[in-house]
């Protein structure tokens, strides 16, 4: 709910304010004031991001027999370090690493995050918990809206705009969607407006309802964790369908860079083409 207020500001400040108005992203003076206040007060973003780093990296064996996939370098930095650049750009500096395979090596490398000017909390899966179970493991550190990201994708997303969309829609989860030429290797979104009706996993190329896929980044409300079952669970199967049925699962389509590094071939493509945030 919004309230109408009247304010008086200096004439030169009005000119500066008007310079923010572009008619699309910033619609008018009132919107510019709201955006600037939101940024100043930290209301334009979630405060925490959960990194899902528990995978065994089986497609990178034999390398991942001795090194967790989270430590493989691309252009001199690991994928989590590239993601730090994205999140720090939007003022998000607190991260929860949900880790499992070779957890000790991940902890040894990243530590408490102070090397990068961030805060890292590590939660360790004693046994595989799946994508949703790994998030629920971090529950005690999540007291407000939070971001979830896979740890093996490079992406450049306007997190401020995505969060604004999340709030405006009253979403429980907003999934960042990107387009690919061939969606048959991914979860393809079936949309109605900006609502996600369902995801179709790895459809035949000719049967895909769209070329919009889950980019591996989403914004969650903490109340969603109440519907995550104990033990092993996958948000693709155990969470998204429930929210989609209630009209509480939304998509945010972005056009920035996105690289999946989940196979050696895709890893090589990212290595050659990623341009940074």
Helix (H, G, I), strand (E, B) or coil at 246: coil
Token representation of residue 97: 């690493």
Provide the 10 A C-beta neighbour count for residue 152: 24
Yes or no: say if 36 and 82 are a contact pair by the CB < 8 Å rule.
no
Distance CA 125, CA 132 (A): 12
Tokens of 81: 């370090």
Catalytic residue selected from 25, 77, 115, 202: 202
Query: Cβ(258)–Cβ(158) under 8 Å?
Result: no
- The token pair at 129 is 């918990």
Asked if 202 is an active-site residue, the reply is yes
Checking 179-185 for CB contacts under 8 A at 24+ apart, the result is 179/211, 179/212, 179/213, 179/253, 179/255, 180/211, 180/213, 181/211, 183/208, 183/210, 183/211, 183/212, 183/213, 184/208
245 CB-near residues (< 8 Å, 6+ apart): none
Q: Are the beta carbons of 133 and 99 closer than 8 angstroms? A: no
Q: Where are the beta strands (DSSP E) in the chain?
A: 48-53, 73-74, 77-78, 94-99, 119-124, 146-150, 153-155, 173-179, 187-192, 195-201, 212-220, 249-253, 258-260
Given phi > 0 = left and psi -120 to 50 = alpha, else beta, which region is 260? beta
Q: Which residues have a catalytic role annotated?
A: 202
């Amino acid at each position: 709910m919004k309230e109408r207020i009247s304010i008086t500001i200096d004439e030169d400040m009005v000119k500066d304010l008007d310079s923010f108005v572009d008619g699309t992203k910033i619609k008018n003076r009132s919107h510019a004031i709201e955006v600037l206040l939101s940024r100043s007060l930290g209301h334009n973003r979630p405060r925490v991001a959960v990194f899902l780093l528990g995978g065994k990296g089986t497609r990178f064996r034999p390398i991942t027999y001795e090194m967790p996939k989270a430590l493989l370098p691309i252009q001199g930095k690991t994928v989590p370090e590239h993601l730090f650049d994205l999140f720090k750009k939007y003022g998000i500096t607190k991260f929860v690493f949900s880790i499992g395979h070779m957890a000790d090596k991940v902890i040894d490398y990243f530590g408490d995050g102070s090397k990068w000017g961030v805060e890292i909390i590590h939660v360790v899966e004693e046994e595989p918990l799946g994508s949703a179970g790994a998030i629920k493991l971090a529950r005690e550190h999540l007291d407000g809206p939070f971001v979830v990201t896979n740890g093996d994708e490079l992406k450049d997303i306007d997190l401020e705009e995505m969060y604004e969309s999340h709030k405006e829609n009253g979403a429980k989860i907003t999934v960042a969607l990107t387009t690919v030429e061939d969606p048959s290797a991914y979860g393809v979104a079936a949309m109605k407006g900006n609502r996600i009706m369902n995801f179709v996993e790895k459809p035949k190329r000719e049967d895909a309802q769209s070329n919009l896929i889950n980019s591996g980044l989403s914004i969650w409300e903490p109340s969603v964790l109440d519907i995550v079952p104990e033990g092993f669970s996958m948000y693709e199967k155990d969470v998204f369908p429930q929210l989609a049925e209630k009209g509480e699962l939304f998509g945010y389509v972005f056009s920035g860079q996105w690289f999946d590094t989940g196979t050696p071939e895709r890893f090589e493509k990212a290595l050659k083409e990623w341009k940074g945030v």
